[in-house]
A and B are shown apart, each in its own frame.
Chain A
Amino acid sequence: MDAETAHHLAEALQNLPRYLGQHVLISALSLGIGIVVSLPLAILGARSARLRWPTLTAASVIQTIPSIALLALFYPVLLGVKYVVTEVLRSAAGGEAEAPFSALGFLPTIIALTLYSMLPILRNTVTAITGVDPAMTEAARGLGMRPRQVLLKVELPLALPVIIAGVRTATVWVVGIATLSDPIGQESLGSYIFAGLQMENWISVLVGCVLAAGLALALDQWIGLMQSGVDTRSRRRLAAGAVGLAVVIGGGLALPLVPGDRLAALVRPAPLAAPERRAEQTGRTYVIGSKTFAEQYVLAHAIRDQVRAHGLKATTREGLGSAVIFRALAAGDIDCYVGYTGTIWVNYMDRRRAADPQDVLTEMTWWLAETHGIRCLGPLGFENAYALAMKRDRAEALGVTSVADLQALAADLRIGGSYEFFGRPEWTRLRDAYGLAFAGRRQFQATFMYKAIAGGEVDVVAAFSSDGRIAAYDLVTLADPKHVLPPYDAVLLLAPDVAHDEALVTALKPLVRAIPVETMRRANYQVMRDEHTQTADQAAAWLRREIGVAGK
């Protein structure tokens, strides 16, 4: 095992107790609630055809919503609920009362996964109970069983194998879908996968996939053993299955008690660098958020280390969706993240025209404070704008230097972009302003987008100006003479309740205007390149040394 692999593996092991523990917790809890809710519903549904249809249809409709959308949907819904509860509490108790739950992470995950678990359990239970031979239920009634006894002593035991099969299906689904909870801020094995995909850390992706599959398989097999115990009336099998299940779930829940450092030490070859001496940490823990791309991971780690270096406690909440993270900051679910002026300008302030970067910054800072109480501490010093880019040789051969040059050529060219880009107003405006009608359009996860243009699968990509891969893949960015694309200066944003937290502000001030775009590109490239990739921690440490804020 080379040193690079060892570092990645060590990082993965470091997070194992948290990620696997959380994964087991959310899966088991959602399934438990799913079973408890679905069984009575299914029994009522089996009894009354009028109830059966709406129940099964509702469950089917939920199933057709893409899982990642369903998970994300509950965040705004819960924010609304939280707002209402808070208002009610304040009008009742007065003062600074607040709803005692967070709309981010755990709660929306549990709700979405529970809903997902319900269809197979509902459908199998209804089918199994309505499928019980009528001769059996008549015999039960004829012998003098009450309706409840008919259900408990005859119908449910006869339906049990099919019900358990439904629970097994639900288990495999839920464990799989739980990996998608990462973008709404719930840690799980999916955090390995999302972060790994963003940073081309295939070891991390592999660890996440293997563990999730292993967990699903283990739960399924133990439940299967219990089922065969029921089928063959073998108490020993039933008990063995139950013990196995309890060990997997109990072990998973107890896992967070294992210190990740110990696990990591098993494979970590040698200390990376002398660990930075941290001041004694006191007080509250600040939560630093990050979106789902490499630069955000590196910056979140750098900010976390910066806060810790000032003797404060800090942690990260990584891989939040772009729409989620701003609301999470406004609601105080996270304390700080790095935003981009253009995103806020276009998405939240709903401005149509691009403007001078300085004006955008000033107006946005005022708007954030006025409308959300969010404090913009200042720009970090670099811009991460959308920019159309082409391979240098291709651009030169076609004589393209600006987006305007593409108009005549677009019909023969294909464009690639991130999932987010084509959904953003900038794309529409860019397309309309320059009259771009491309021959084809493909969406990629960023990593694959660069590989696609390198391989000639697309001719133009919507790249990010601070991306280290622009230089690495020898791309040129095209000018935007009509100034359609707004500026995207990276800015430090603070949640309303820490907007004037002096300790935090003091810790973060040194980062303002401290990171030139060249430095950021190099840091980004460290975690993105195919060879000698670094972990986000390593790149963050490099970044802080480079800009001179790392402690001695």
Chain B
Amino acid sequence: MIHLDQVGKSYDGGRTWAVRGIYLHVREGELMVLLGESGCGKTTTLKMINRLIEVTHGRIEVAGDDVRDQDPVLLRRRIGYVFQRIGLFPHMTVGENVAVVPNLLGWEKPAVADRVGELLAMVGLAPDTYRDRLPQHLSGGQQQRVGVARALAARSNIMLMDEPFGALDPLTRASLQDEYRRIHRRLGLTSVMVTHDMTEALLMADRIACMRGGEIVQVGSPHQLMTEPEDDFVRQLMETPKEQADRLERIVQDEDTDA
């Protein structure tokens, strides 16, 4: 569905590379996570898919077409995008935010209104209550629900998500992660999500691409990465959540012993 071949990005004419030699194939219906520490090039890779950043080298295909052959604006309208800092427009109501892309595509008004209601319900916000509110009057979790609804509005079946749940408190994050997986599966979406949170990657991904220093180190399912890490970096990366889980386990056992 999304295919990156020898993709590279340089901001100084090829002397240094923010991202280089990326080969990645995202299958239809798959939730692919780009995992790595900050500055490893995962967000750059994500933004090259909808041409928010242009590639310096290599080619990217979306649904079989080279993205460089397409009007970037029309390309972006076909691809849903969920932003790191949520990015709702504060001067527009919740309903207007969700309706941005359908309006850009010139949908009829009643169709837009129906779609807004449908999506707010899907992300768990009662349409009649929330449609006319301003984003600033919503909690962080509610805001990102609107962000997801906005990305889905034009019935795109491809979603790009840049650390979508990073700004949320742990409880809200967990429930949104679950809900997004459900929506992803129900609508048959193909999603690429960027995160630096190992636990989030392991819990949500069909496959994970681990990145370091602008390159992909290993691609595989959570199970593969945990059981067959190809190098020390990946092993360390995968052990962090395991170690945390062990420590939590010990705390629980200590409490039991005390009692």
Contacts and interface: CB of A to CB of B under 8 A. Distances in A.
Interface residues of B, number: 22
A239 B78 CA distance: 38
Nearest to A230: B91
A523 to B, nearest CB: 65
B111 interface: no
B104 A145 contact: yes
Contact of B89 (A141, A149, A154, A233): A154
Interface stretch (B80-88, B209-217, B224-232): B80-88
Interface string B135-169: 00000000000000010000000000000000000
A370 to B, nearest CB: 69
Contact of B87 (A136, A149, A153): A136
Given A149-B104, A154-B89, A157-B91, A139 B83 contact: yes
A92 interface: no
Interface in B87-135: 87-91, 100-101, 104, 134
Contacts of A141: 52, 76
Interface string B12-30: 0000000000000000000
Nearest to B91: A157
A142 B81 contact: yes
A158 B150 contact: no
B145 to A, nearest CB: 16
Nearest to A140: B89
Contacts of B74: 144
Given A142-B50, A143-B101, A149-B104, A136 B76 contact: no
A391 to B, nearest CB: 69
A146 B85 contact: no
A201 to B, nearest CB: 52
B252 interface: no
Interface string A148-160: 0100011001100
B42 interface: no
Contact of B81 (A143, A157, A233): A143
B9 interface: no
B73 interface: yes
Given A138-B52, A142-B50, A146-B73, A158 B91 contact: yes
A135 interface: yes
B104 A158 contact: no
A144 B83 contact: no
Contacts of B207: none
B158 to A, nearest CB: 13
A107 to B, nearest CB: 40
Interface centre among B74, B77, B84, B91 (most CB of A within 10 A): B91
A27 to B, nearest CB: 30
A135 B83 contact: yes
Nearest to B76: A144
B220 to A, nearest CB: 29
Nearest to B50: A142
Contacts of B73: 144-146
Contacts of A140: 89
B87 A138 contact: yes
A90 to B, nearest CB: 55
Contact of A143 (B77, B84, B91, B134): B77
Contacts of A139: 81, 83, 87-89
B149 to A, nearest CB: 13
B84 to A, nearest CB: 8
Nearest to B52: A142
Given A143-B150, A144-B73, A145-B73, A138 B104 contact: no
A135 B104 CA distance: 19
Contacts of B77: 143-144
A135 B90 contact: no
A157 B74 CA distance: 23
A142 to B, nearest CB: 4
Interface centre among B78, B81, B87, B90 (most CB of A within 10 A): B87
Nearest to A156: B91
A350 B83 CA distance: 75
A347 to B, nearest CB: 59
B76 A135 contact: no
B90 A138 contact: no
Contact of B100 (A135, A143, A233): A143
A142 B76 contact: yes
A135 B78 CA distance: 20
B85 A135 contact: yes
A144 B91 contact: no
Nearest to A231: B91
Nearest to A149: B104
A140 B77 CA distance: 11
A142 B81 CA distance: 7
A93 B154 CA distance: 64
Contacts of B84: 135
A140 to B, nearest CB: 8
Contact of A135 (B75, B87, B150): B87
Contacts of A138: 52, 83, 87
A397 to B, nearest CB: 76
Interface string B62-78: 00000000000111111
Nearest to B90: A158
A143 B90 contact: no
Contacts of B83: 135, 138-139, 142
Interface in A100-151: 135-136, 138-146, 149
A142 B134 CA distance: 21
A136 B101 contact: no
A461 B74 CA distance: 79
Interface in B179-221: none
A233 B89 CA distance: 14
A163 to B, nearest CB: 13
A145 B92 CA distance: 15
B76 A143 contact: yes
Contacts of B81: 139, 142-143
Nearest to A160: B91
B110 to A, nearest CB: 21
A136 B52 contact: no
B87 to A, nearest CB: 3
Given A140-B89, A144-B76, A233-B134, 13 more contacts: A136-B87, A136-B89, A138-B52, A139-B83, A143-B81, A143-B101, A144-B104, A145-B100, A146-B73, A153-B100, A157-B91, A158-B89, A158-B91
Interface of A: 135-136, 138-146, 149, 153-154, 157-158, 233
28 contacts: A135-B83, A135-B85, A135-B87, A136-B89, A138-B83, A138-B87, A139-B81, A139-B87, A139-B88, A141-B76, A142-B50, A142-B76, A142-B81, A142-B87, A143-B76, A143-B77, A143-B81, A143-B100, A143-B150, A144-B76, A144-B77, A144-B78, A144-B101, A145-B73, A145-B104, A153-B100, A154-B89, A158-B91
Q: Which 8 residue pairs spanning A and B have beta carbons closest together?
A: A139-B87, A144-B77, A144-B76, A142-B81, A157-B91, A135-B85, A144-B73, A139-B83
